Structure 1
Amino acid sequence: IGSFNLRKNERPVRDEMGGDKLMRNDGDVFTNVSEEAGIYSSVIGFGLGITIGDANKDGWEDIFISNDFFERDYLYLNNQDGTFSEDLVDQMPSISGASMGADIADIDNDGHNEIFVTEMLPSDYERLKTVTTFESWDRYQYNVNNGYHHQFTRNFLHYNNQNNTYSDISRFSGVQASDWSWGALFFDMDNDGSKDLFIANGIYKDLTNQDYLQYISNDVVIKSIISGDSVNYKKLIDIIPSNPVPNHVYQNKGDLIFEDFAKSGLQTPSFSNGSAYGDLDNDGDLDLVVNNVNMPSFVYENLTDSKNQNNYLKLNLKGEGKNSLAIGAVIELNAGDQKWYYEHQPTRGFQSSMDPRPNIGLGSAETVNLKITWPSGKVTTQDNLLTNQTLDFSEAEGQATDTKKIQASGKKFKELENVTGISHTENRFIDFNRELLNYHMLSTQGPCVSFGDLDSDGKPDIITPGAKGNPTRILKATGQSFQEIPQGDLLQKLKDAEHVQCELFDADGDGDLDAYLASGGSELTKFSELLYDKVILNDGTGHFSASSQKLPNDQKISTGAVDHVDFDGDGDLDLFVGERTKVGEYGALGSGYLLENDGKGNFEDVTLKICSELDKIGMITDGKFADLDGDGDADLIVVGEFMDISIFENQDGKFARASSQNGLNGWWNIVETIDIENDGDLDLIIGNHGLNSRFKASEEHPIKMYFSDFDKNGFPEGVVTQNREDGKDYPYALRHNLTKRMPSLAKKFSDFESFKVATIQDIFSEEQLSQTTVTQATELRSIILINEGNFTFTRKALPTSVQLSPMYAIEVADINGDGFMDFFMGGNLYGVQPEMGRYDASYGHVLINDGTGSFSDMARDYGFSVKGEIRDFVIDGSMLHVFRNNDSVISFEIPAPDDM
């Protein structure tokens, strides 16, 4: 396996002695049709799982193959002519690494199949610390560049977005980690109408035990195992630890959440791989058989029929011709608003086959309507069937239909072809080489664009901040497209700055729009002159010249936020500037700055005079001026990473903290104002990290950051911890990462076994901890805060779909024309350490306001879908421009309200 070394272009090379094969049944012989059918058959295709199901809801069976080792998985879409098109990369933005078993099923009863794939990430904290290692960023990028896609060490639950895209929700759903997993099966264990999940686990020898690998790398040990040309394999294998682990049962709780069901009775530690379900005692619930290695198999009786009152329907399907079991039939049931969808494919999981009689849990439904679509395309329907019985159906008695293909619904948002001609190019910089213990890149969180009439022609123009090495661009509107306005060498001189934001405002009071260019990111050193922000002044025609001021003051900072308002009531526009991070010191507390304008575009830092609480407030990501109390002046909202939502009241030009939302310390990325209920006051939309990651936080169990120069070498560290059930803080970092950053710890924890239970108090001394800055996060959901007056707010979480990725962009508008303000939202972050895996589950959101403080995500219904890292939105008349990191701008024609 290692001899292939992730080489390029191995996938198309056919291996007649191995590789995957599609064998067509020609009656009395099976014919290899792999090549003409479009099936990869290479030596690198270590397919452990083959799962059949309709992935794109066109009525034809598709194929998903989960590949072990370094080869990516395959998703073959049926072309309906005996051939297939492999389309995984276009539909799944990331996948499991060493994929094992897989299953396909509809987990939320919406009639569309999800795909679950197992991997080897331990769920147990102590095993994670002793048997796991992750790829470095460089290795991960090497794999991607060689065509192996974005692979990560964890189970994946690919949620079907119903538009030929999938989103991995495994971390949100709670099924991302189940140890060395093999077969996975979706089936309704308790007949409540929702499919649950069983995962068979175990490897007889812990091949990845880090202490074992460290031990056998010792020269003395190597010599004892290798003698001349011979290797003592028995000795090599015998010393590998052997630890049976429990299988996992996850109960489907609805709303895409699965709960580890510890009381299921299925958690005997074992070395399991294959499993199969079936109603062995014909009592209407599904029993389970599990295959084990070097131990007897398990046969589990399901006691659902004696413990609850849920109902079921069992079917005996008789197919026509040689497909006597009607494999491939589709069963749809409904009872009132409830719906169930089931595809009859007995072979699934890991090398296993199920009871060929579909047994469908129906919860409390006493009668159901049934539709069977047979493999031939015939249809059988029956209404008002009583539940809790077994029924026989024959394909021969089905009714013929005209076509098997299901027509896709039309789109409402129309994507426009390359309207703007604008794209963003990110420079190649690896934050983790400088900040090893940071999990998220700070250098890829742009661009945040500005939109306004720069040349006084009545048409809105655009300024797009540039990443380091790529100059900021000033673009004039020409019809629907944009044309560069030459700026001499102004922007070329600044091209090596990382411009993260541009704020348009009239700085010098001459009636045109000037710009504040904010420099940030993490590429520069803390001594670089390019960290100073710049005000560039407009001559009224869209041509700019730079002010000589170094902003926000004489300190060099990495800026994360800018906003403007006349906060002192003297008729000119002042500024708020927020510090994102101390360069090279992730975790240090940054400051907010209030800059007073003298009316001519010269700014003075008056922070300590009018709002000293902004000093060292935190790692600021956004700040907004808004009149939250309706008194006619602008208050200030500041949010950030490991920060609360800080609201400062404007009291005659000075700011005092009016509200600090208790329990709302988060990893906030953006804040925007909106009047949700049309009651005349301003509410808040706040984008957060979301719930679809390995990071989990609550008031009872916060995520913390311990920041200090622990080893006194002049380079401080930020150690992120999780608070576990015992109330103690444990580092997320694995031993080798922590000791690489702080080598002295290698002596204290000489092996992985001793490190696996180490708390932050075990790792560092009381004296070291007394010198740390500790911040925390307790809320990771994106939310709205409804203004109840007097700086009090009611918190509401945004819909589940929004919680599946970090949110970075918000644009407020009355999208459907009903008089209530709605908003677009977008995010994703790809610059994430491989051990956490990138955040790519969002395709943009259209949040429609019902007028009562609740929002529904209508993106799927409106046909709105955007791939990539969304960083900003701009509405230009009836067009919506979507700005993405390191990608082109996508534009949509917003449908008229009557068309929605």
Structure 2
Amino acid sequence: MENDGLLDLYVSNYVEYSIDNNPWCGIRYEKGGRTDLRDYCKPDFFIGVEDQLLHNLGSWKFNNVSDVSGISGNKGKGLGVIPADFDQDGDLDLYVANDGVMNHYYINDGRGYFEENAIFTGAGFNENGIPEAGMGVDIGDLNGDGWQDIFVTNFSGESNTVYLNNKRGYFNDETMMVGINQPSLDYVGFGTKLLDLDHDGWLDIFVVNGHVAVHINEMFKDYTHAQKKQMFLNNQDGTFREVLTEHIGDASAQSVGRGAAFGDIDNDGDIDAVISNNNGPANLLIRAGEPDKSWIGFLLEGVWSNRDAIGSRIVLSMNGSKQTRVINTAGSYLASNDKRAIFGMGNQSEAENVTIYWTSGRKSIFKNLKVGHYYKIKEDGTISAIVY
């Protein structure tokens, strides 16, 4: 977090819970001889816990810097966390999705101190000033302006939330405008990923759903425990449309979805998914066939930056337009993702201009790279095509 080349560890914590602090929640039947149904207790029943930041000293040693870094003192109910340079000042900031309380947005001053500023930057609540049940989270440039936006999965009745970065690290809740609100109201979202599903150069949205209350249908007839997964395609005009269930293959199977990890498992240029489910087997979802549009992918290796190049930014320029990807394995929910970056290239045969902004402050530029390949690029300028 202070650009010393070593990856630090941020730990999001949830609530104070113990066997002694285990309230009864569920459905009590007053009459009729039916058995009471014990079920999920909302996070409102418990006190939130502070998160922790551990500074990497090297040699597998860490120092707890939560107090001196400004992280402590903010009790949330964290379920998702992701780093990104939201204000593009050269250092990694932090966003934490909290369950039922205000989300946290920590702005890095570049020297390892963080200021929590979610309220004033517009990223703490929804557009009505209400906290939501943040679970999964991911970041990406949804509207093609080069700045990292935030997507958060929430509880049924709330909708998922799209925070568009209006530059310099300030955000607007544009969920209604982009068309995500209504389609997500009946679902409880967990794992998620912003990815280019159709290789048209614009980021789409994948959401894994599953209710937390086993007996939810006893209480609300419109809700189910097992739920469908959702995919939203980017219309390239600031709005999204949901892909019909019959068009998503095996991903259409309902499950009680939770964790979701994303990556190109079969190395064919599109992103696959592994999904963990409550009380059921995992799903391995491999995109069928070859991508019908061209693509290009990158695996970065830092030399002066951290070796995994976490936080480094790739900007691909082509025909007057730009695509941006940030190297990141975080996000989603209870998962870690493939660190390779994939760009959809439409019908293009080469990437005209690829610029890499390393976290060390260095910059690398490559021109006219052929599509249909992964390239390994080191911070010292070495580049090679990867053959799997």
Same fold (TM over 0.5): yes
Choose the corresponding residue for 1:73, options 91, 95, 103.
Answer: 103
Does the Cα contact within 8 Å between 2:49 and 2:77 map onto a contact in 1? no
* 4+ residue runs over 6 A deviation: none
CA contact (8 A) 1:21 1:41 kept: no
1:157 equivalenced with 2:162 (yes/no) = yes
Partner SS for 2:380: helix
- TM-score normalised to the size of structure 1? 0.35
| SS of the residue 1:90 aligns to | helix
Match of 2:240 among 229, 239, 258: 258
- AA partner of residue 184 (structure 1): T
Q: Structure 1 residues 101, 329: closer, same or farther in 2, change over 3 A? A: same
Tell me by how many angstroms 1:304 deviates.
Answer: 6.1
- Letter of the 2:138 counterpart: D
> What is residue 167 of structure 1 aligned with on the other side?
172
The code of the aligned residue for 1:301 comes to I
What amino acid is the match of 2:356?
I
Deviates further, 93-102 or 254-263: 93-102
Q: SS in structure 2 opposite 1:397?
A: coil
SS of the residue aligned with 2:51? coil
SS of 2:290's equivalent in the other structure is helix
Task: Give the drift of 1:65.
Answer: 0.4
For 2:215 and 2:69, how far apart are their aligned partners in 1? 37
Q: Which residue of 2 aligns with 1:8?
A: none
Kindly tell me: are residues 52 and 366 of structure 1, through their superposed partners in 2, closer, same or farther at Cα, counting changes over 3 Å? Answer: same
Q: 1:322 and 1:107, CA in 2 relative to 1: closer, same or farther beyond 3 A?
A: closer
Over residues 436-460 of structure 1, what are the superposed CA-to-partner deviations in whole Å (9 max), with x where a residue is unaligned? xxxxxxxxxxxxxxxxxxxxxxxxx
How far off is 1:163 after superposition? 4.5
2:137 corresponding residue in structure 1: 102
In structure 2, which of residues 101, 115, 118 is the aligned counterpart of residue 88 of structure 1?
Answer: 118
Sort the Cα spacing of 1:41 and 1:290 in 2 relative to 1 into closer, same or farther, 3 A: farther
Structure with more helix by fraction: 1
Label 1:304 to 1:19 Cα distance change in 2 as closer, same or farther (>3 A): farther
Structure 2 residue corresponding to 1:278, chosen from 263, 271, 281:
263
The 3 A distance-change label for structure 1 pair 207 and 33 is farther
The 3 A distance-change label for structure 1 pair 360 and 212 is: closer
Question: Cα distance 1:52–1:282, how it changes in 2: closer, same or farther (>3 A)?
Answer: same
Which residue number corresponds to residue 394 of structure 1?
Answer: 378
Structure 2 residue 375 is the aligned partner of structure 1 residue 378: no
SS at match of 1:353: coil
Write the letter of the residue equivalent to 1:245: Q
Structure-1 residue corresponding to 2:208: 200
1:115 to 2:150 alignment: yes
Measured in 2, the distance between the counterparts of 1:290 and 1:174 equals 25
Aligned in 2, Cα 1:100/1:207: closer, same or farther, shift over 3 Å? farther
Whole-Å separation in 1 of the counterparts to 2:136 and 2:233 = 19
Instruction: List per-residue Cα deviations over 1:689-712 (Å, max 9, x = no partner).
Output: xxxxxxxxxxxxxxxxxxxxxxxx
The amino acid of 2:269's aligned partner reads G
Q: Which has the larger radius of gyration?
A: 1
* Contact 1:173/1:256 (<8 A) preserved: yes
The 5 Å alignment of 1:193-592 reads 193-203=201-211, 205-206=213-214, 211=219, 243-262=225-244, 263-265=247-249, 266-303=251-288, 305-306=290-291, 308=292, 310-320=293-303, 323-368=306-351, 369-397=353-381
Instruction: Show the counterpart of 1:823.
Output: none
1:209–1:34 Cα change, 3 Å: farther
**Is contact 1:275–1:290 with CA below 8 Å preserved after alignment?**
yes
Runs of 5+ consecutive residues of structure 1 not aligned to the other structure: 4-14, 123-152, 214-240, 399-900
- For residue 77 of structure 1, what is the amino acid of its counterpart? I
The 2-side partners of 1:204 and 1:102 are apart by 18
2 CA distance for matches of 1:120 and 1:393? 40
AA matched with 2:350: T
Q: Distance in 2 between matches of 1:164 and 1:391?
A: 31
3-state DSSP class of the match of 2:68? helix
Give the CA deviation at 1:207: 6.1
Distance (whole Å) between structure 2 residues aligned to residue 79 and residue 340 of structure 1: 27
SS in 1 for 2:95: strand
Distance 1:304 1:62 in 2: 38
Match of 2:56 among 3, 25, 34: 25
Cα drift, residue 365 of structure 1: 2.3
Cα gap change, 1:211 to 1:76, in 2 (>3 Å): same
Counterparts in 2 of 1:212 and 1:364: CA distance versus 1, 3 Å: closer
Note the C-alpha offset of 1:59. Answer: 2.3
1:641 maps to none
Mapped contact 2:296–2:372 kept (Cα < 8 A): yes
Q: In structure 1, how many angstroms separate the alpha carbons of the residues matched to 2:286 and 2:216?
A: 34
Aligned 8 A contact 1:276 1:352 in 2:
yes
Judging changes above 3 Å, is the alpha-carbon distance between structure 1 residues 88 and 210 closer, same or farther for their aligned structure 2 residues? farther
How far is the alpha carbon of 1:31 from its aligned partner? 1.0
Aligned-pair CA distance for 1:193: 0.8
Q: Deviations over 1:468-514 (max 9, x none)?
A: xxxxxxxxxxxxxxxxxxxxxxxxxxxxxxxxxxxxxxxxxxxxxxx
What is the aligned residue count?
A: 325
Other-structure match for 1:622:
none
* Conserved 8 A contact 2:217-2:224: no
Render the CA deviation track for 1:205-241: whole Å, top value 9, x for unaligned.
Answer: 346657379xxxxxxxxxxxxxxxxxxxxxxxxxxx9
Any residues of structure 2 matched to 1:4-23 within 5 Å, and which? Answer: 18-23=49-54
Alignment partners' CA distance in 1, 2:212 and 2:107 = 36
Report if aligned partners of 2:305, 2:359 keep a CA contact under 8 Å in 1. no
Distance 1:352 1:84, change over 3 A: same
> How far apart are 1:108 and its partner, in Å?
1.7
8 Å contact kept, 2:262–2:337 = yes
Letter in 2 for 1:53: A
TM-score by length of 2: 0.78
The offset of 1:321, in angstroms, is: 6.4
CA–CA distance in structure 2, aligned partners of residues 158 and 191 of structure 1: 23
Q: Is the 8 A contact 1:118 1:156 kept in 2?
A: yes
Give the Cα separation in 1 of the matches to 2:176 and 2:265.
Answer: 34
> Cα distance, 1:50 vs. partner?
0.3
1:348 alignment partner, SS class: coil
Measured after TM superposition, the shift of residue 245 of structure 1 is: 0.8
Residue 91 and residue 18 in structure 1: after superposition, are their counterparts in 2 closer, same or farther (change >3 A)?
Answer: closer
Query: RCO greater where, 1 or 2, for CA within 8 Å and sep 6 or more?
Result: 2
Could you tell me how far apart the structure 1 residues matched to 2:307 and 2:314 are?
Answer: 16
Aligned partner letter, 2:229: N
What does the per-residue CA deviation read over 1:141-194, in whole Å, with 9 as the maximum and x for residues that have no partner?
A: xxxxxxxxxxxx332100111244311111222222251111221011221111
CA deviations over 1:305-355 (Å, ceiling 9, x no partner): 25x2x1111112122269322111110011111210010011211121111
Distance 1:384 1:160, change over 3 A: same
Does the Cα contact within 8 Å between 2:295 and 2:343 map onto a contact in 1?
A: yes
Q: Quote the Cα distance in structure 1 between the aligned partners of 2:93 and 2:136.
A: 17
The aligned counterpart of 1:188 is 196
In 2: Cα distance, 1:270 partner to 1:104 partner? 25
Deviations 1:23-61 (A, max 9, x none): 11111311111111111355x411001011111122221
Q: Is the 8 A contact 1:335 1:367 kept in 2?
A: no
Stretches of structure 2 that go unaligned for 5 or more consecutive residues are 1-14, 22-46, 383-388
